[in-house]
Amino acid sequence: MKHPFLHALLRLPRHSGVLAVSGSLLLLALPIVAMWGGQAWVRILDFAILYVFLALGLNIVVGFAGLLDLGYIAFYAVGAYTYALLASPHLGLHLPFWVILPCGAMLACLFGVLLGAPTLRLRGDYLAIVTLGFGEIIRIFLNNLNAPLNITNGAQGINLIDPIAIGAFKLSGRTDIWVYSLNGPQKYYYLLLLLCTGVVVINFRLQHSRIGRAWQAIREDEIAARAVGINTRNMKLLAFAMGASFGGVAGGVYSAMQGFISPESFALNESIMVLAMVVLGGMGHIPGVILGAVLLAVLPEALRFGVVPVQQVLFGKVLVDPESLRMLIFGLALVLVMRFRPAGLWPSPERQRELAEAKS
């Protein structure tokens, strides 16, 4: 006999409305609940959603079209720097966000096509190497574009970036709403949640569209895709462009939220982190990618807070520096997941079946 609650959960269609409502309420209440643990936790939530956003963008390129991109963070950097340059004292420009975010998305999109066009004939590891190089080129440019003309302010980065604001309402600082006072990270959380919902919807719509099917065909067999009449060149460029635009928007919000950016934030390990989220969660499967992004964004931070108290309880003192232990546990967790769930934590039903069929 099944537990009644489990039973209710399993019969999704009838209760999906209830689930959706309670899920949204939970998401809306989350930053207020997290505030009890301190503002740091709200910021962790912000980054979790930002990474979901990024991972879903990369999922279009890697998961849907099957193009292994190791330089994805470059588009994030383009978006972030676009925002920083157009809304900070550095160039003396202070454009509103609704002008800059689309600009950032467009510019990132352009860079996406710039990367896509020369790599059309490449696949797999070769493509990975070129995209990796591309990501590094962008970072090195940002690092060195401070002379002879100071554009990016080099390694020092850009400071005092304007927060996102609508009229007098700023997303940074406190705002009193009725009896509750919302702080900056909490307001950014709601903005990110809104944007992210949009990206999730776009991802779902894309997956089952004609475009999504074309990407699927290209991922499976490019020659066969051409033989059934798919314009593989345009479709691959479209994947790069769309993925890049999402990265650009995410970068813009990141810039505004942090108020400070430097090339350091856009290093290779960030690209790899986002890719790990996609792969660990379940490549091409939207709920899986979301899960992967949330886990990989929250887990290292949770370990940061957990490692010290646990050691004190066990040994009476801190034996291992939390920073190094954190990455060790994190790495181990990645290896274990890939060992026991090779298709990711939450793979698509088709992928699951494929693994099952391959085993039998």
Partner 1 sequence: MLEVTGLRVAYGGIQAVKSITFHVREGERVALIGANGAGKTSTLKAIARVLDAAGGDVHCAGQDITCLPPHEVLGSGIALVPEGRGVFPRLNVLGNLLMGAYIRNDKAAIAADLEQVYGHFPRLKEREKQLAGTLSGGEQQMLAIGRALMGRPRLLLLDEPSMGLAPLMVQKIFEVIRTVASQGITILLVEQNARLALEVSQRAYVMESGRIIHTGPAHELLVDPRVRAAYLGE
Please give the residue ranges that form the binding site for partner 1 (CB under 8 A).
210, 213-214, 216-217, 220-221, 223-224, 226-232, 350-351, 353-354, 357-358
Residue 142 or 217: which CB sits closer to partner 1?
217
- Cα separation, 182 vs 269, in Å, equals 33
| Minimum distance of partner 1 from residue 334's CB (angstroms) | 24
Residue 226 or 304: which CB sits closer to partner 1?
226
Residue 170 or 351: which CB sits closer to partner 1?
351
| Minimum distance of partner 1 from residue 197's CB (angstroms) | 29
- Cα separation, 233 vs 210, in Å, equals 15
Residue 177 or 223: which CB sits closer to partner 1?
223
- Longest CA pairwise span in the chain (Å): 75
- Count the neighbouring beta carbons within 10 Å of the beta carbon of residue 308: 15
Residue 15 or 123: which CB sits closer to partner 1?
123
Q: Report CA dihedral (342, 343, 346, 348) to the nearest 10 degrees.
A: -160
Residue 167 or 229: which CB sits closer to partner 1?
229
Check if the beta carbon of residue 259 is closer than 8 Å to that of residue 161: yes
Sequence-distant (6+) residues with CB within 8 A of 150 are: none
Check if the beta carbon of residue 251 is closer than 8 Å to that of residue 104: yes
| Minimum distance of partner 1 from residue 358's CB (angstroms) | 8
| Minimum distance of partner 1 from residue 214's CB (angstroms) | 7
| Minimum distance of partner 1 from residue 60's CB (angstroms) | 18
What does the radius of gyration of the chain's CA atoms come to, in whole angstroms?
21
Between CA 227 and CA 235, with CA 230 as vertex, the angle to 5 degrees is: 140
Residue 62 or 230: which CB sits closer to partner 1?
230
| Minimum distance of partner 1 from residue 73's CB (angstroms) | 28
> Taking Cα atoms as reference points, which of 285, 252, 289 lies closest to residue 274?
289
Check if the beta carbon of residue 173 is closer than 8 Å to that of residue 184: yes
| Minimum distance of partner 1 from residue 229's CB (angstroms) | 4
Asked if the bond preceding 148 is cis, omega within 30° of 0, the reply is: yes
